Amino acid sequence: MNLSEVVGTFFQAHLPVLPVLLPLFTAAALLLMGDAGGQANHGGSLLKRRRMVSLTSVIFGALLAWRLMLEAAGGTLTVYPLGAWPAPFGIVLVVDRLSALMLALTWTIAVPVLWYATGGWDAHGRHFHALFHFQLMGLSGAFVTGDLFNLFVFFEVLLIASYVLLVHGQGRARFRAGLHFVVLNLAASALFLVGLAVIYGVTGTLNMADLALRVGKLGAQEAVLLKAGALILLVVFGLKAAIVPLYLWLPGTYAAACAPVAALFAIMTKVGVYSIIRVHAVILDSGAGHAALAAEPWLLPVALVTIALGVLGALAAHTLARLVSYLTVASVGTILAGVGLFTPQAMSAALYYMVHSTLVMAALFLLVELVASQRGDAEDRLQPAAPVAQPVLLGLMTLLGAASAAGLPPLPGFMGKLMILESSAPTPAQAWVWTVVLLGGFLTLIGLARAGSILFWSVLAQDSHSSRAGGSTKLTLATLSLLGLSLVLAVAASPMKRYTDAAASQLADHASYARAVLGPLGGESAQTTRRYKAGEGEVVLPGKGGSP
């Protein structure tokens, strides 16, 4: 074997764990490089080196994530046993279509967001880049873990990083929001452990594949305890996803965060959505016996109320950042409305809409800062102010983001909502879903139109403070790239819909998932990365261990 073959074999064997290890090692390297912090270091050679290392790592991570997604698109389910311990006794990482989609979405957003941050935000505090990569590590780990306890571990990793990122740049508003954010999430973490303890006490396992096989065999009394534990987890995941009545922390928190942090946080709420899907739409689906569909009476009504209150909050918002934050809440409600229908068609629609909404919300958070930087002392407050320096460019970007968020055709927001509406047709909740989703979209359009008219039409005479930080090409291109990705999603709607259809079908195929994850309970094949295709059996790739 020559060197290229050795490297190729290594990456192929350890590909599933690399999106977790890459940001970990990058963060460690950035910490070792040191950080003088503050504006005094802006433009210095150390900051330039950190930026280069950080951006290179994120771009490489995005390539790895897309490589995993392309592999998953072909129907391959990849299992990586850490430490060569076979499931369900050891920790496994699992990459199926859903986890690969979430990985690709996370790292794709991370590239323009980090590029935006290098325009100056990363110099407003210490260790921004290291914390950014720790956040990516937690996000990636949460999406690929095949074990509920390790989902908790990766939750804590991403939350600890988010606590510090939230107060990056300091300021009274950020510290106040950060305090609320920390207290609520610490309480949620304690509940998370309680829920896990109940589930483990009933089933004897926290491996997701093993759980999916065992829950259907539980007796009625055991199923009651299991449902209690699962509903505790629903509360925890609902807090992370920001659903009613657990959403009140999000608008103030996201509005207070600096622009690149808020944009990255757009994917953080989707970790809660992803966890709800894994536990309540997969493990506790209709085949879970006495514990089947434990969340069905709650999830759809809560999702619809979340849409309604999110949109009403956006209408009442006095700043552009809070408006976008409330729209983030409404978008989570729309996704969960699809999940709460508990059909493969609705699940596929929800996944498509989730990709769209995450891209658009991340772009809008960056756009908020672009607009605010050109409005003088008014910043992003929805009140008349001096005209912005780039009214045409920012106006068109705002129009595109608003149209997509509201769901106007032919943008992907319209397609995603249409898919959700169509998937509700055979269900008794069809009238409610249509009413709330359509009315929510209409009111979203009104709220964004009101904001746009104030920002770009209700202007005062030019003053000396306007355009104080506008016109940065880097910041504009980073924001445009996220908006452009949403347009790509519209152009590629057909292949994307085929992918989400296949992902929804794969989630419902418990037998294939269990065969791939649990696999052989011993022997050499348990020590290597396994790639499995339903109907084709198991393929064992060369490698010497599950741990690099």
DSSP string, 320-334: HHHHHHHHHHHHHHH
**Alpha-carbon gap, residue 25 to 496, rounded angstroms:** 32
Query: What order do you get walking across the sheet with 76-81 strand by strand?
Result: 92-95, 76-81, 530-533, 537-540
The mean predicted confidence, pLDDT, of the chain is: 88
- When pLDDT is averaged across residues 325-336 and rounded to a whole number, the result is 96
Task: Please give the pLDDT value at position 524.
Answer: 41
Task: Please give the pLDDT value at position 1.
Answer: 61
Task: Please give the pLDDT value at position 36.
Answer: 60
Give the pLDDT confidence of 365-423 residue by residue, as tens digits.
999 999 998 888 888 888 888 888 888 899 999 999 999 999 898 899 999 999 999 99
Task: Please give the pLDDT value at position 37.
Answer: 53
Looking at 236-240, 258-262, 469-473, which range is the least confident one?
469-473
Query: Does a cis peptide bond (omega within 30 degrees of 0) precede residue 260?
Result: no
Treating both helix axes as pointing N-terminal to C-terminal, what angle do 412-423 and 493-508 enclose, rounded to 10 degrees? 40
Give the pLDDT confidence of 475-529 residue by residue, as tens digits.
999 999 999 998 899 899 999 999 999 999 999 888 888 888 887 544 444 456 7
Task: Please give the pLDDT value at position 333.
Answer: 96
Of 252, 460, 483, the C-alpha closest to 370 is 483
Over pLDDT 70: what percentage of the chain?
91
- When pLDDT is averaged across residues 231-256 and rounded to a whole number, the result is 93
Of 507, 505, 526, the C-alpha closest to 517 is 526
Q: Are strands 76-81 and 530-533 parallel, antiparallel or unpaired?
A: antiparallel
Task: Please give the pLDDT value at position 465.
Answer: 44
**Alpha-carbon gap, residue 241 to 276, rounded angstroms:** 9
Task: Please give the pLDDT value at position 128.
Answer: 92
The secondary structure of 73-86 as a DSSP string is HTTEEEEEEGGGPP
3-state secondary structure (DSSP) of residue 539: strand
Kindly tell me if the per-residue pLDDT of 314 is higher than 60: yes
**Alpha-carbon gap, residue 390 to 479, rounded angstroms:** 14
Q: What angle do CA 531, 537, 539 make, to 5 degrees?
A: 35
- When pLDDT is averaged across residues 287-314 and rounded to a whole number, the result is 93
- When pLDDT is averaged across residues 155-163 and rounded to a whole number, the result is 94
- When pLDDT is averaged across residues 198-210 and rounded to a whole number, the result is 93
pLDDT band at 39 (very low <50, low <70, confident <90, very high): very low
Which residues on neighbouring strands pair with residue 81, listed in sequence order?
92
Looking at 60-64, 110-114, 371-375, which range is the least confident one?
371-375
Task: Please give the pLDDT value at position 377.
Answer: 83
Reported as half-sphere exposure (CB side, CA atoms, 13 A), residue 415 has a value of 21
Task: Please give the pLDDT value at position 38.
Answer: 47
**Alpha-carbon gap, residue 517 to 288, rounded angstroms:** 19
pLDDT band at 286 (very low <50, low <70, confident <90, very high): confident
Phi-psi region of 450 (alpha: psi -120 to 50; beta: other; left: phi over 0): alpha
**Alpha-carbon gap, residue 327 to 335, rounded angstroms:** 12
* Most confident region among 295-304, 470-479, 535-544 by mean pLDDT: 295-304
3-state secondary structure (DSSP) of residue 465: coil
Q: How far is CA 278 from CA 145, 209, 387, in A?
A: 11, 10, 47
- When pLDDT is averaged across residues 168-186 and rounded to a whole number, the result is 87
The secondary structure of 12-55 as a DSSP string is HHHGGGHHHHHHHHHHHHHHHH----SGGGTT-HHHHHHHHHHH
3-state secondary structure (DSSP) of residue 478: helix
Gyration radius of the chain's alpha carbons:
23
Looking at 38-52, 292-306, 463-477, which range is the least confident one?
463-477
Kindly tell me if the per-residue pLDDT of 339 is higher than 90: yes
Could you identify the residue written with the tokens 């794709």?
108
**Alpha-carbon gap, residue 348 to 354, rounded angstroms:** 10
pLDDT band at 106 (very low <50, low <70, confident <90, very high): very high
**Token duo for residue 145:** 């873990």
**Alpha-carbon gap, residue 525 to 523, rounded angstroms:** 6
**Token duo for residue 220:** 């009625």
Q: Where are the domains of the chain?
A: 18-35+55-69+91-293, 295-509
Task: Please give the pLDDT value at position 122.
Answer: 85
